[in-house]
Structure 1
Amino acid sequence: MSIFFVAFGCKKPISTDAGQPAQWGQQPELPVVNGEARFTLEAQDYFVNVMGNTLPRMPIFPALQPKTGLVRGYVADLSGKPLQGATIGVRSTATGGYYSGVSAQTDAKGYYELTVPWGAADFYAAGYTIDYGQGRVTMSLYSADGKLESFPSKDGLVKNFVLLSYGVLNKDLAGQKPNDPTNYAGGSFYITYNVADPSSVYNPSTYIPDNAEIQVTLVPDGAGLYGEKKTFIITKKASQLNYNFLVMNVPVGSYTLKANLKNGPQLRLEAVGRYASVSPYFGLKPISAVGSAQLLFTPDSQLSNSLTLPNRGNWGSLQIKVELPQ
């Protein structure tokens, strides 16, 4: 199956402040994400960040100078292709706590410009909608310099945004909560299971044996958002200490998810919980299968671009129960 999101193309001329044509210029090569990565989780471990704290290099944006009372900039994908139709929202808080907001969509050159009411201003929205599988999802945009602090609107500001498929979106929050998937651009999911109790005479035949090793493999069905083709293999020791583990920051794409006991039988996979039936297009397909199924990440909600927070992932963590087949 092929999925596709954003087409890569030639760089188009844009206008500089002086009104002269300019080019986005030569862009660096896209990061190469392929091969295979293996992770081993002990009984007490409950999450794995498969791309770590890496962040792809940013595209090279045309230069802009700040202008009084204006917030402006460009939105692009990682290849440096301008993205039309992205929404950027800014609000200002005046004396007395009242605030007013304004938003704008990027044009064909990826450019946006906002006249912001005077006050202490910040960004409340930065979203872009992509085609994903048979559906569409809205993704958060990342501030290219990694900063989103408030600023005096009268000074003006230049702020560029990028659509990422993986990477740390908020270093401060990720440092405090490294297991929060919304701090990363990649997709996520939970593996849940029941573990047989060695002290009990009653253990359903579907329960995972205590101290067995669950092996989950993610194999790309094709190139991801920016050509990613990396396979991830996670091995987790089952025990009474916990009954699930989180896999997060997976490059956005379509995967075949396989599950088995290490050197043992295949496991049954079943989507359960809040996100199991949220959409006919995303999640685990089929919803229940033995050995393997297709996985498309599930958006946390079908928010519009104007309601999507910047630098904060909009993927929900689908729960996938694994058990021995009957």
Structure 2
Amino acid sequence: MNTKFFLVGILLINFGCKDPVGNEGDPIASWGQQPDLPVVNGRASFYLDAQDNYVNVMGDTNPRLPNFPVLSPKAGVVRGFVADLTGKPLEGALIGIRSTATGGYYSGASDETDANGYYEITVPWGAADFYTAGYTIDYGKGRATMTLHPVDGKLGSFPSKDGLVKHFVLLSYGVLNKEMASQKPNDPTSYAGGSFYITYNVTDPTSVFNPASYIPENAEIQVTLTANGPGLYGETKSFVITKKASLLNYNFLVMNVPVGRYTIQAQLKNGPLLNLEAVGKYAGISPYFGLTPTIAQGQANLLFTPDTYSDNSSTLPNRSNWGSLQIKVELPH
């Protein structure tokens, strides 16, 4: 497997070569016994008051991580393993490194993991950091690229001469960046799970213009997510979000939902089913993701929407690559 390189501002010719992993022990045998997968099932309910506009359905819960083979650092080399949550090595994951040098130039290198989930990159000169870490999965009838999470949770720069061992894991939910999540808890890119917005119009008692489709002020919108089969790692948990409609805001964000396939249902609590329609940036951009059908009464199928402008080569490490689909709900009319 060849290590790939790029350079901006200056020409660099370099070819990385992996040393056999066998001198560290057999990478297959050294994965060891893996712990049982976390069980994510049952039903969770959330209530959003008038001023609330987001909910993180998995909270700050992170799944336990798999066991990785032991590697020691090698000078001038970044290497490690990539696996899913079960401890299965992932072949074809892309890891990219870039380095800055004097004069503002930077150079970079990348490598795809082999059948053992192993990558090895000869690091260009200067202070280095990770610019990409992604893996593409089969999702529904399509393919979606997801970010990879460093097992130690750290992605700071490091001296290229010292080398580094960095393992990555593919998560279906959980906090990716604790610092960013603490500063902006309503930023869905800080979480591995999927996300979507519910948008709506609310009747204004001071206005003479209130179409029949508007949600009455102080009514409660109830959105139910039911898993259509097991998720990425067998998750079957369902979620019920009840939101009090108010002129204070006209949408709410549901985020960090375990990656899987869902049925979404919307209604007024103890009232009629609501019409659903995919709207906004991610509406109708793919035949495989989003809301199916794109306009429905009461309920529809939902697959989270990947950012179509990203792929393995441009997927940021430790930052969600799921876009937030907007779903408009309104009273039937």
Specify the code of the residue in structure 2 equivalent to 1:31. P
SS in 2 for 1:218: strand
TM-superposed CA distance for 1:16, in Å, is 3.9
Tell me if the contact between 2:215 and 2:330 (Cα under 8 Å) persists in the aligned partners. Answer: yes
SS in 1 for 2:161: helix
Which of 56, 74, 79 aligns to 2:81? It is: 74
Specify the code of the residue in structure 2 equivalent to 1:174. A
Tell me if the contact between 1:34 and 1:231 (Cα under 8 Å) persists in the aligned partners. Answer: yes
Asked if 1:151 is matched to 2:158, the reply is: yes
Which of 206, 209, 218 aligns to 2:216? It is: 209
Counterpart position of 1:313: 320
Asked if 1:194 is matched to 2:197, the reply is: no
Tell me if the contact between 2:30 and 2:70 (Cα under 8 Å) persists in the aligned partners. Answer: no
Counterpart position of 1:51: 58
Distance 1:96 1:283 in 2: 45
CA deviations on 1:181-239 (whole Å, 9 max, x unpaired) are 00110000000000011122331111000100000000000000000000000000001
TM-superposed CA distance for 1:53, in Å, is 1.1
Which of 24, 29, 33 aligns to 1:26? It is: 33
Counterpart position of 1:258: 265
Asked if 1:249 is matched to 2:256, the reply is: yes
Counterpart position of 1:120: 127
TM-superposed CA distance for 1:98, in Å, is 1.2
Which of 229, 233, 257 aligns to 2:236? It is: 229
Q: How does 1:158-197 map to 2 (within 5 A)?
A: 158-197=165-204
TM-superposed CA distance for 1:278, in Å, is 1.1
TM-superposed CA distance for 1:23, in Å, is 2.9
Counterpart position of 1:295: 302
Tell me if the contact between 1:137 and 1:302 (Cα under 8 Å) persists in the aligned partners. Answer: no
CA deviations on 1:237-295 (whole Å, 9 max, x unpaired) are 00110000000000000000000000000000000011001101100000011110000
Stretches of structure 1 lacking an aligned partner (at least 5 in a row)? 1-13
Specify the code of the residue in structure 2 equivalent to 1:60. N
Distance 2:161 2:24 in 1: 22
Stretches of structure 2 lacking an aligned partner (at least 5 in a row)? 1-19
SS in 1 for 2:181: helix
TM-superposed CA distance for 1:302, in Å, is 4.3
Aligned length: 313
Distance 1:253 1:18 in 2: 36
TM-score, scaled relative to structure 1: 0.94
CA deviations on 1:132-189 (whole Å, 9 max, x unpaired) are 0010010000001000000001000000000000001111111111101001100000
SS in 2 for 1:39: strand
Specify the code of the residue in structure 1 equivalent to 2:139. Y
Which of 13, 20, 23 aligns to 1:17? It is: 23
Tell me if the contact between 1:194 and 1:208 (Cα under 8 Å) persists in the aligned partners. Answer: yes
CA deviations on 1:48-83 (whole Å, 9 max, x unpaired) are 000001111111000000000000000000000000
Distance 1:222 1:18 in 2: 40
TM-score, scaled relative to structure 2: 0.92
